[in-house]
């Protein structure tokens, strides 16, 4: 299997002098296509920084990040945004849905930045929500949805562009066990059916076991 | 890239969800209120105008001055005692040769001649539109000077409501305030009269006449000059400024009577004068041309309440010298700003300057207000951007480029800012009207009215309210706009730029 994402000696440094923080130190990592990797570690260990670097959101201070063999941080903003839009899907702990958009509009949002006509993207969003059993909630605003539903909407939004990599930062963190389990079932299904690579950060040991591989970060290093 | 339609749709949804619809409603109410106010003011002006024209019958062009030519031995001329002309007389007059054609069309206005008095209290608002260099010729006719030396007994008077406001004193050979019983003394007397058949600025040969030739302006000028020469060759006097403006003509006429039924607010009857028929025909022709050129504009002539009569001839400085010599030929005393230290010039300049300076205050306040208002808007929009940081982070994560973010926020900011921009424009105009220039003029006139107890003038002042609107210098009206535009653009652009620069990771942490 070929590597989809590679981190080569990646170091991230925040701040200067006394305020200097190094959340990632000389990290080498590779993620293969269709691989489901869970990332665990204590709070402040650098998990989120790690996935942000992988997802093209955070430029590392040193090192290289290869995404599909291209250096992710050597492309311009437009290209990087395009990669994020087309190839990477993000799911966050706090769902990060836009409050003034309905569920279907939130799901369709990534397509908006692709100049896809409104009808087409809304149709696709509806289909996506249907696959998440949320079609009856399509016209609801995030404030009218439960936590689990919000997370499923967020997953639908991440999937609508058919990404090759899904990055989920503690997707079950705000959910109870049952709901969390439902969400994780969805990720397992995605991994199996869509063949998308998944990089999932979690604190929960049971969630960590869902993936095909589990890595641990401690003090900015992979252990 | 995100399309404009998408941006609009996105921002509408945002506004809707954030219950900005309510605020929009407030804006709508505010705008409706402001526009209603403006409409009300306009309506008031219209009502004032109607009142003025139909009750007091003073408004231009409803100022019928009949020029007639009765025979010297006619019955009318033979009337030995003063009386008002009755309908029968009018009928006779109107049947006279050449009269009806003129009567139908002629409308006189004396735009070049303003009788000024108490100018320290009142500066007619039209004067504010002139540059200082225009106040350059002053014809004085109520001083003893040449008139007493018997050089001439021809006195130029205005064909307007002021015409018989003055009393002619033959032994002193000048006019003082009119007394009704003195009217008879006018009858049968010959006077020179200054008329301005074209009205001030209204007759632009180049612009309005049939001689316009945009292809070849030289031919146009030649044609105009030729026609002017034809028209004016027989006139006793015409000013050198006729090429571009039609300046007054001086014609000899005889007063033959008075008519009562067209009284204006000063209860002043109009007079009938006599001029030679060839001149009458010529005037008729000129008037026709003027009418063809869509007529003129109303001019303002203040009443002379103190028996003093000044004629202020407003003309471009380059014509000053020639006009002065022409007027001197008429046996009148002429002062100019250059040749005389007469107080009149400095006083009127001072008064005009004072009036004009009032404009600067509201203009400054408005400009400062507009500037700070837009700064506040910028601040508010910046806060909006701050509020939306998380949203920006989300959008960046799902593939929005910094350009997309900038466009979304630019639209949002511009939309908000332009609402404020137009509100500011309306407000500034209203402020200009009520706090600034218009108020100064109106109050000036009102104080005069109160002092003289003439409520009629007050009504006229209200009726004339919009005249001040027209002559407020353009730059004053444009100043707030000129300041608002760049500030508006910056107020809208900077927050959107700020939004586009936000780092997605930092945004997600917000």
- The reply to whether B165 falls in a domain is yes
On average, the pLDDT of chain B sits at 51
- The reply to whether B320 falls in a domain is no
- The reply to whether A161 falls in a domain is yes
- The reply to whether A12 falls in a domain is no
- The reply to whether A109 falls in a domain is yes
Same domain (yes/no): B25, B172: no
Task: Flag whether pLDDT at B199 surpasses 90.
Answer: no
Task: Flag whether pLDDT at B50 surpasses 60.
Answer: no
Same domain (yes/no): B42, B77: no
For residue A154, give the nearest of A207, A219, A75, A99 by alpha carbon. Answer: A99
Question: Of the given ranges (A22-31, A170-179, B63-72), which has the lowest mean pLDDT?
Answer: B63-72
What is d(CA A101, CA B153) in angstroms, rounded to the nearest whole number? 90
- The reply to whether B337 falls in a domain is no
Task: Flag whether pLDDT at A166 surpasses 80.
Answer: yes
Q: What is the pLDDT of residue A28?
A: 92
- Tell me phi and psi for residue B273, to 5 degrees: -120, 170
- The reply to whether B368 falls in a domain is yes
Say yes or no: B461 contacts chain A, CB-CB below 8 A.
no
Chain mean position to CA A62: 22
Same domain (yes/no): B31, B100: no
The minimum CA-CA distance between A149 and chain B, rounded to whole Å, is 18
ipTM rounded to 2 decimals: 0.88
What is d(CA A201, CA A211) in angstroms, rounded to the nearest whole number? 11
On average, the pLDDT of chain A sits at 88
Rounded-to-5 percentages of helix, strand, coil across chain A: 40, 25, 35
Domain range enclosing B20? 4-51+354-509
Q: What is the pLDDT of residue A178?
A: 85
Task: Flag whether pLDDT at A95 surpasses 50.
Answer: yes
Task: Flag whether pLDDT at B16 surpasses 60.
Answer: yes
* Residue B490 CA: distances (Å) to CA of B98, B375, B376, B387: 67, 9, 12, 20
- The reply to whether B432 falls in a domain is yes
Confidence class of residue B374 from pLDDT cuts 50, 70 and 90? low
Mutate to test the interface with B, among A55, A98, A103 (most CBs of B within 10 A): A98
Which helix (H) or strand (E) covers residue B414, if one does? helix B402-434
Q: Which residues pair with A71 in a beta bridge?
A: A66
Say yes or no: A21 contacts chain B, CB-CB below 8 A.
no
- The reply to whether A6 falls in a domain is no
- The reply to whether A26 falls in a domain is no
For residue B412, give the nearest of B389, B385, B446 by alpha carbon. Answer: B385
Mean pLDDT of A70-95: 87
User: Are the beta carbons of B2 and A113 separated by less than 8 Å?
Assistant: yes
Same domain (yes/no): B278, B414: no
**Contact A58/A66 with Cβ under 8 angstroms?**
no
* Residue B419 CA: distances (Å) to CA of B92, B413, B415: 65, 10, 6
- The reply to whether A122 falls in a domain is yes
Q: What is the pLDDT of residue B89?
A: 53
- The reply to whether A68 falls in a domain is no
* Residue A119 CA: distances (Å) to CA of A122, A133, A136, A147, B347: 5, 21, 18, 28, 74
Q: Which residues pair with A200 in a beta bridge?
A: A38, A168
CATH number at residue A206: 3.40.50.300
User: Are the beta carbons of A114 and B397 separated by less than 8 Å?
Assistant: no
Mean pLDDT of A171-194: 84
Residue scoring higher pLDDT (B109 or B250): B250
The minimum CA-CA distance between B205 and chain A, rounded to whole Å, is 59
Domain endpoint, select from B312, B334, B363: B312
Domain range enclosing A206? 34-49+83-222
Confidence class of residue A191 from pLDDT cuts 50, 70 and 90? confident
Domain endpoint, select from B279, B312, B345: B312
Same domain (yes/no): B365, B470: yes
Confidence class of residue B239 from pLDDT cuts 50, 70 and 90? very low
pLDDT tens column, B464-502: 333 333 334 556 556 666 776 777 777 777 777 877 788
| Number of folded domains that form chain A | 1
Q: What is the pLDDT of residue A153?
A: 92
What is d(CA B165, CA B304) in angstroms, rounded to the nearest whole number? 8
- The reply to whether A203 falls in a domain is yes
Question: Of the given ranges (A207-221, B347-361, B384-398), which has the lowest mean pLDDT?
Answer: B347-361
Confidence class of residue A115 from pLDDT cuts 50, 70 and 90? confident
Question: Of the given ranges (A36-45, A80-89, B107-116), which has the lowest mean pLDDT?
Answer: B107-116
Which helix (H) or strand (E) covers residue B87, if one does? helix B87-95
Mean pLDDT of B434-439: 48
Of B14, B399, B505, the CB nearest to A113: B399
| Number of folded domains that form chain B | 2
Domain endpoint, select from B312, B340, B370: B312
pLDDT tens column, B441-456: 554 444 444 444 444 4
The minimum CA-CA distance between A214 and chain B, rounded to whole Å, is 24
Same domain (yes/no): B26, B106: no
Q: What is the three-class DSSP state of A157? A: helix
């Amino acid at each position: 299997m070929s590597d989809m994402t590679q981190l080569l000696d990646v170091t991230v440094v925040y701040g200067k002098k006394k305020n200097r923080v190094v959340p990632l130190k000389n990290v080498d990592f590779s993620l293969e296509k269709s691989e489901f990797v869970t990332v665990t570690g204590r709070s402040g260990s650098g998990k989120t920084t790690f996935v942000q670097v992988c997802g093209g959101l955070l430029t590392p201070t040193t090192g290289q990040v290869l995404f599909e063999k291209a250096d992710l941080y050597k492309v311009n903003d437009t290209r990087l945004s395009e990669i994020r839009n087309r190839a990477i899907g993000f799911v966050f702990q706090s769902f990060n849905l836009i409050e003034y958009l309905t569920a279907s509009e939130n799901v369709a949002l990534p397509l908006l930045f692709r100049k896809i006509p409104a009808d087409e993207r809304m149709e696709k969003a509806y289909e996506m929500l249907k696959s998440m059993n949320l079609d009856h909630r399509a016209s609801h605003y995030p404030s009218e949805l439960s936590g689990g539903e919000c997370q499923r909407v967020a997953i639908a939004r991440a999937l609508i562009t058919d990404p090759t990599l899904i990055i989920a930062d503690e997707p079950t963190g705000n959910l109870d066990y049952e709901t969390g389990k439902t969400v994780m079932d969805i990720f397992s299904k995605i991994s199996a059916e869509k063949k998308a690579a998944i990089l999932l950060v979690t604190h929960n040991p049971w969630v960590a076991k869902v993936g095909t591989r589990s890595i641990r970060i401690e003090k900015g290093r992979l252990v | 890239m995100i399309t404009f339609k998408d941006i609009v749709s996105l921002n509408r949804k945002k506004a809707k969800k954030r219950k900005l619809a309510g605020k929009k409603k407030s804006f709508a109410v505010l705008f409706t209120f402001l526009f209603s106010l403006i409409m009300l003011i306009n309506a008031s002006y219209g009502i004032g105008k109607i009142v003025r024209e139909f009750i007091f019958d003073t408004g231009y062009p409803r100022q019928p001055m009949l020029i007639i030519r009765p025979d010297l031995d006619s019955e009318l001329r033979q009337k030995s005692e003063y009386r008002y002309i009755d309908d029968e007389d009018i009928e006779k007059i109107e049947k006279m040769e050449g009269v009806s054609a003129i009567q139908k069309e002629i409308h006189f206005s004396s735009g070049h001649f303003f009788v000024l008095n108490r100018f320290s209290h009142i500066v007619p608002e039209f004067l504010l539109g002139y540059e200082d260099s225009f106040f350059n010729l002053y014809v004085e006719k109520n001083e003893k000077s040449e008139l007493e030396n018997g050089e001439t007994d021809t006195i130029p008077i205005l064909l307007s409501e002021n015409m018989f406001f003055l009393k002619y004193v033959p032994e002193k050979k000048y006019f003082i305030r009119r007394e009704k019983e003195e009217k008879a003394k006018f009858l049968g007397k010959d006077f020179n009269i200054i008329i301005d058949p074209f009205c001030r600025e209204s007759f632009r040969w180049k612009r309005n006449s049939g001689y316009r030739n945009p292809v070849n302006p030289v031919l146009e000028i030649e044609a105009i000059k030729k026609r002017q020469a034809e028209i004016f060759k027989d006139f006793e006097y015409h000013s050198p400024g006729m090429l571009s403006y039609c300046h007054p003509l001086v014609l000899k006429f005889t007063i033959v009577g008075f008519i009562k039924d067209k009284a204006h607010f000063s209860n002043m009857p109009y007079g009938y004068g006599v001029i030679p028929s060839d001149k009458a025909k010529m005037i008729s022709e000129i008037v026709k041309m003027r009418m063809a050129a869509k007529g003129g504009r109303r001019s303002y002539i203040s009443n002379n309440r103190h028996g003093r009569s000044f004629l202020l001839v407003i003309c471009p400085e380059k014509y000053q010298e020639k006009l002065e010599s022409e007027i001197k030929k008429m046996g009148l005393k002429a002062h100019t700003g250059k040749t005389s230290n007469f107080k009149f010039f400095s006083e009127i300049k001072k008064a005009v300057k004072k009036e004009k300076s009032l404009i600067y205050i509201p203009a400054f306040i408005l400009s400062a207000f507009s500037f700070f208002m837009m700064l506040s808007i910028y601040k508010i929009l910046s806060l909006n951007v701050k509020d939306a940081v998380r949203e920006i982070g989300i959008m960046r994560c799902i593939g929005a480029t910094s350009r997309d973010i900038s466009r979304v926020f630019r639209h949002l900011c511009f939309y908000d800012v332009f609402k404020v921009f137009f509100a500011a424009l309306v407000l500034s105009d209203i402020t200009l009207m009520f706090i600034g220039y218009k108020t100064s003029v109106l109050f000036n006139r009102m104080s005069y009215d109160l002092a003289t107890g003439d409520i009629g003038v007050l009504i006229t002042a209200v009726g004339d309210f919009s005249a001040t609107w027209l002559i407020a210098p353009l730059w004053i009206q444009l100043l707030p706009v000129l300041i608002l535009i760049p500030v508006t653009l910056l107020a809208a652009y900077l927050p959107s730029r700020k939004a586009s620069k936000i780092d997605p990771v930092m945004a997600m942490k917000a």
